[in-house]
Amino acid sequence: MEDTSTGTAAAHEVDAAHHLLDRPHHDGSALYVPGGVPALGDTAILRVRIPAGESVSGVHVRVLRDGEPGYVEATLEAETPVERWYAAEVLVHNPVTRYRFVLQDGDTYRWLNGTGVHERDVTDAADFRLSVHGGAPAWERDGVVYQIFPDRFARSGVERGTPAWALPAEWDDEVYVDTKDPRTPLQYFGGDLPGIEQRLDYLQDLGVGTVYLTPVFPGESNHRYNATTFDEVDPLLGGDDALASLSRSLHSRGMRLIGDFTTNHTGDTHEWFQRALADRSCLEATYYYWREEAPGYVGWYDVPTLPKLNYGGAGLMERMALGDDSVTARWLKEPVALDGWRIDVANMTGRYAADDFAHEVARAMRSTMARINPDAALIAEHNFDAAADLVGDGWQGTMNYAGFMRPVWTWLVNPETAVPGFLGMPNRIPRRSGQSVVATMQEVAAAVSWPIALSQWNSLDTHDTPRLRTVTDDPRIDAVATTLLFTYPGTPMMFAGLELGTRGLSGEHGRVPMPWDRPEAFESDTFATVRALIHLRNDVRALRDGGLRWAIVHDDALAYLRETAEERVLVVVARAPWPGSVLPVSLLAEGAVPENLFGGGRLEVTERGLVVPGDGPTAQVWRLA
């Protein structure tokens, strides 16, 4: 039998007249799982939407309990001319309860899981999940995160001198292109924390809710991921007082501040490592991995300036993550009072050869943060499939390269892009169809619970990647990408300069100083588009926590619905002209007309339905109900 999944590689191509809204649907949003994050022992209500044309004689929920599947009957809850709603009550017996729906038609059946409807048996990998652990706090999911690389955002005008390790640069100098050039991490532009504080009016007007700073601890580089200590803020940035002042100013505006530090390694100039080198019998010597081969210790990716931490070492877990005076805890307290952490190289933290302390580190950090500030956020850097690290009471979310940036890039890349590789791979960025892109996005999202999916940091570029404009080389395509960023489930995370169309061939090359002395840079269509989309997301709750139903998946166009019980919003994006489609007129509230929220365009109401024209490139957002 044919596989009718909308999100697997086997999914058939959607022709111009077809839509996907005639298929059963469930997701983890409040429309389908009312009640929020459950507690162990709770009874959760699970609802499923069955279109009227579907031949379904009965619905059950297949639930894994202590590893054994069982079946709970779903009963008809409501019926309209266009759809039926079934509901079942499921006991939350395990901390993570996996389930999927069985759609019966006589003696035949289909499965409904996180990747769609399947007329074949499937594995448990894409089962829906009820988790008692939840995701990040509501403020993190609701707000837009703005990433700042402190050396490149703004100078305060305070003269702080030039450190011995640095190669001073003027603010308008070109950033080094070659990532292997030894000068690249030493190029020093002199941005600081007071400079950021002076630009908070700009960020607030843009609509930003959370500022995320890459590391502020001292380190002999412009990126500071090679920390020399975790006990103070780099004086070059203004020191501890400057970070506390920035935090107070953000909080007074109702904004948040997230810090960044590396749990995987320190710098080779770090005070702990220097003690260990001087005395291999000292306590700090147990914090690192040692070996006979030069340089005598293990470095992250064999980089000798980044010695890797060993969480089997006596007291390291307490010092980094568990204790009330740990690195994790200290900076969450007054006077700095960070609102959370983004953890660098979280996917490799605690992992070396036979050692695997990764989950233990994540749980320790989350437990400590809950004691200090129960409303703090804990986000992990993870470049690939992070599902195995998001199953419990550790990381609340990750940087969603796998489920957002990578697939979006492959859909929108200019085939002639100057970017030489694809996020560490030896090949260039491939250009793929809408079907391929949605398959990846669904598969990655299906591997985690819905609260985690809403907590994931979606981005289009970061300080570790080429810039979006260099990938697309087209501001019209950038508008398509940013519409996806601010309307797709998850937390939008934008690297400073995205709103200006900043270019860069690599992560290092893309760390471009903000052009404050060029006001024309802030008057572009790209800036206006990003600002409008941020404010739209802030104003429309369905774009922050509504469910997701794919409506159109075409080579060159995608459309989806974001829905709550009160609101239905349609997002249509196209990378090129396409044949167009027709959606059911029943999507509109009775007597209503589509309200354009962004992008202009047309959405004609006819006897056939809602006619979506085949314009492109284009991006449109419509309120339907």
Give tens-digit pLDDT for 353-370: 999 999 999 999 999 999
pLDDT digits (tens, 9 = 90+) for 504-541: 999 999 999 999 999 999 999 999 999 999 999 999 99
Confidence at residue 312, expressed as pLDDT on a 0 to 100 scale = 96
480 near 619, Cβ under 8 Å?
A: yes
State residue 324's pLDDT score. 93
Distance, CA of 259 to CA of 235 (rounded, Å): 16
Predicted confidence (pLDDT) at residue 314 exceeds the cutoff of 70? yes
- Residue 392 binned pLDDT confidence (cut-offs 50, 70, 90): confident
Average pLDDT over residues 51-68: 95
Domains and CATH numbers, the chain: 1-36+38-132 (2.60.40.10), 138-264+309-539 (3.20.20.80), 546-623 (2.60.40)
> Nearest to residue 272, comparing CAs of 85, 262, 479?
262
Q: Are 404 and 441 in contact (CB under 8 A)?
A: yes
Mean pLDDT of 21-29: 96
Closest Cα partner for 147 from 202, 214, 234, 195? 214
Q: Give CA torsion, residues 222, 189, 417, 575, to 10 deg.
A: 100
Tell me which residue of 270, 259, 147 sits closest to 203, measured CA to CA: 147
At 272-298, the pLDDT tens digits run 999 999 999 999 999 999 999 999 999
> What is the reported pLDDT for 5?
42
- Within 8 A by CB and 6+ apart from 554, the residues are 13, 14, 16, 434, 435, 578, 579, 581
Token pair 């008809």: residue: 76
Cα 551 from Cα 17, distance rounded (Å): 12
Distances (CA, A) of 405 to 456, 459, 468, 577: 12, 6, 10, 23
pLDDT of residue 180: 87
pLDDT tier at 472 (50, 70, 90 boundaries)? very high
CB 459 within 8 A of CB 494: yes
Residues in Cβ contact with 325 at an 8 Å cutoff, skipping those fewer than 6 apart: none
190-202 mean pLDDT = 98
Residue 447 has pLDDT above 70, yes or no: yes
| Mean pLDDT, rounded, of the chain | 95
pLDDT at res. 318: 97
